[in-house]
Structure 1
């Protein structure tokens, strides 16, 4: 696939050869959320050079991890069944990396797709089963992520719509998920702004989505 060749005959070395090049795993992460056009991938990875994005897409296609597919007169990139097998790996890696996340730097951003994967990683279905069905909206800049929880079922989409509580967030959402920032304190400090709906449901959100740092 690429210039990297570890010269070892093992599953781990081959896996790193396939997805270990810079940006490759983040492309896979975003395609786990759903098929994306080239421009959508570029927007979701704002620091990736266009030539690197094009190269990674060709490489991932060449080894059967992703494919190009026509959708409503446009071409999108999507995971193949082989690429979809990476989903539990990506979620587990996200949980592992969360432990070393630290504080956000000013130049770091949270995208709707990256937050979607982080929330899927943090989702606690056993907790959600004991709670009423609840819908949330998390606003990231100009984007809004609709999060619907019904028992152990989790559905997340971009857009807007009726929800039980909507809140504006940023890096503080990771502190909320880790338990470092209590929901009430998040609201009082302005780190999370409740836009509409019942503010007390932010506590339910923090219980439903939790990862120990």
Structure 2
């Protein structure tokens, strides 16, 4: 079984998994990003996860700078930071993949202003690029 840290991997994807790779973490993020949940009780009710597991995941996401905690009326609220909000694309990508390869889910992503569907796409400059045209190239600054 893999541990939480991937110290032997020189890879940004592996380092990202150290923060958000645990399955409850992504579902917490989904609820924060799209349902705007901020309270422990909202996450717990939505996910049905044990409270001790939820507390550990939220603490980890706070420690990694993905959430910040604000105390409102004596109750902690978990607000996404910019770092956390940037994970929206990851959740959309996983959802699109699941819709295509597992089973269609109950939501579509739509543009707020135009109510039009949105899909993730890759671009090089202004030109759309297909995924099979993309390759990983080591950065000149990499060791």
Same fold (TM over 0.5): yes
Query: Rg larger in 1 or in 2?
Result: 1
Query: Aligned with 1:96: secondary structure?
Result: helix
TM-score (norm 2): 0.69
Name the residue aligned to 1:23: 24
TM-score (norm 1): 0.48
Report deviation, 1:85: 0.5
Name the residue aligned to 1:43: 45
Name the residue aligned to 1:4: 4
Equivalent-residue separation in structure 1 for 2:81 and 2:61 (angstroms): 10
TM-superposition CA deviations, 1:82-126 (whole Å, max 9, x none): 1110011211221111112338xxxxxxxxxx95xx332xx3x5x
Equivalent-residue separation in structure 2 for 1:210 and 1:56 (angstroms): 30
Report deviation, 1:210: 9.1
| 4+ aligned runs moved over 6 Å, structure 1 | none
Report the structure, 1 or 2, having the larger strand content.
1
- Structure 1 portions without partners, runs of 5+: 104-113, 126-148, 154-207
1:152 aligns with 2:114: yes
Number of residue pairs the alignment of both structures matches: 115
Report deviation, 1:71: 3.5
Report deviation, 1:209: 5.8
Equivalent-residue separation in structure 2 for 1:85 and 1:101 (angstroms): 25
Query: Aligned with 2:77: secondary structure?
Result: strand
Report deviation, 1:25: 0.5
